[in-house]
Amino acid sequence: MRRAAVSVAVILVVIVGVALRGDGGDLQLPPRTVAAEFGSSVGAAAREPLVEAERIAAAIEEPLRLVRHFQRTSEPFPDPLGDALIRSGADLVLSLQPRTRSGAPIPWRDWAETTEDDELGQQLVRIAQDIARRGGVHSVTFHHEPESGQGPFGEAVDYVAAFRNVVAIMRPHGPAELEFSWLATSFGFEREPDDARAAPRYYPRSDVVDWIGVDAYNWFGCRTDTPGEWRRPREVLGSFLAFAGQHPDAKVMIAEIASTEDPADPERKGAWIDDLTNTLRDPALSRVEVVLWFHGPDPDSDRCDWWIDSSPAATAAIRDLAASLRAIPTPVD
């Protein structure tokens, strides 16, 4: 989802799609055999992001371990919100936005051509060094959802070159364990290959990508430019999962996922989350290692109800989802 500044999201990591029956419970699968992390992100549209982080922790009945965080490349790391989140014990899934302090876009070609001796390169070096000193970062992505951010930034070829150069500059100065994620929208994976907004055109190749991720939503027409039908989790994730299956060396993340409510059925969002939980129990989805639920208002529509606790059914289902992802059954001798 595009946003002007910091946002809150829950990240799910998912792999190759499997045909499952039913609508949230008619095919019950055993618990996962590989643990995954559940997290969230608190958005700029939320009035008090730290209060919202506490609200999420209360809903899942445990502290947040992963939080999606958005920060401009021109800002020192961590910014005040990032600092507070790290001090709370969370690791950041850090999205670097290529903008000046005033919010002006910095073209991808500039990032592709910068060096450590230039101003932009120095920004990247400082961020990497600060991550090494401070810690608290799960992974870093450069300009999430690039297929939605053309225009002033450039074309796919510019983004690929920029991403690769950003990694080349940051990696030597960051901690040895620093990992990089590439994140696109579910719509981007559904587009025809010759469409300029097709996500695979922006893939910078696996040698610089540790995590492949997606931002995926069941919109139910809550925004005028989105699908009007109710789409199940495997429908919104299917094209992404097929792409992830073509890149087996990368770990898989759902960097944002959420469903809006159905005004005619207060139980339907909860059932959607249960469907997601059940889908992720399939052994074929064991590459899913991170799940982040987008918690907050939509920046473009007040009809999209992404809140983690938007209904009692949603709250109960989110709690079950978080517990299911972490659960590893004890082997029986």
Q: Per residue, what are the HEC states of 119-163?
A: HHHHHHHHHHHHHHHHCCEEEEEECCCHHHCCCCCCCHHHHHHHH
Residue with tokens 């709250």: 315
Report the CATH number that the domain containing residue 260 is assigned in CATH.
Answer: 3.20.20.80
The residues facing 212 across adjacent strands are 182, 252
Domain residues for the domain of 199 are 10-326
CA distances from 176 to 133, 179, 185, 243 (A): 12, 9, 29, 28
Task: Tell me, yes or no, if the pTM score tops 0.85.
Answer: yes
Q: How confident is the model at residue 185 (pLDDT cuts 50, 70, 90)?
A: very high
Residue 176 makes CB contacts below 8 A (sequence gap 6+) with: none
Per-residue pLDDT averaged across 285-313, rounded?
89
Residues 106-129: tens digit of each pLDDT: 999 999 999 999 999 999 999 999
* pLDDT above 70 coverage of the chain, percent: 86
Higher pLDDT, 7 or 306: 306
Gap between the Cα atoms of 16 and 325, Å rounded: 17
Res 250 pLDDT > 90:
yes
268 lies in some domain: yes
Residues 126-144: tens digit of each pLDDT: 999 999 999 999 999 999 9
CA distances from 169 to 74, 126, 141 (A): 15, 10, 14
CA distances from 32 to 63, 65, 98, 237, 313 (A): 21, 19, 38, 19, 22
Q: In one letter, which amino acid is 73?
A: T
Res 15 pLDDT > 60:
no
1 lies in some domain: no
34 lies in some domain: yes
Please report which helix (H) or strand (E) contains residue 111, including its range. helix 108-113
141 lies in some domain: yes
Higher pLDDT, 150 or 121: 121
CA distances from 45 to 4, 42, 52 (A): 9, 8, 11
322 lies in some domain: yes
Res 8 pLDDT > 50:
no
4 lies in some domain: no
203 lies in some domain: yes
Res 286 pLDDT > 50:
yes
DSSP structural state of residue 276:
H
Gap between the Cα atoms of 320 and 314, Å rounded: 10
Least confident of 224-228, 249-253, 263-267, 270-274: 224-228
Residues 70-100: tens digit of each pLDDT: 999 999 999 999 999 999 999 999 999 999 9
Query: How many domains does one find in the chain?
Result: 1
pLDDT at 3: 45
Q: How confident is the model at residue 240 (pLDDT cuts 50, 70, 90)?
A: very high
For 15, phi then psi, to 5°, come to -125, -145
2 lies in some domain: no
Res 40 pLDDT > 60:
yes
pLDDT at 52: 86
Res 12 pLDDT > 50:
no
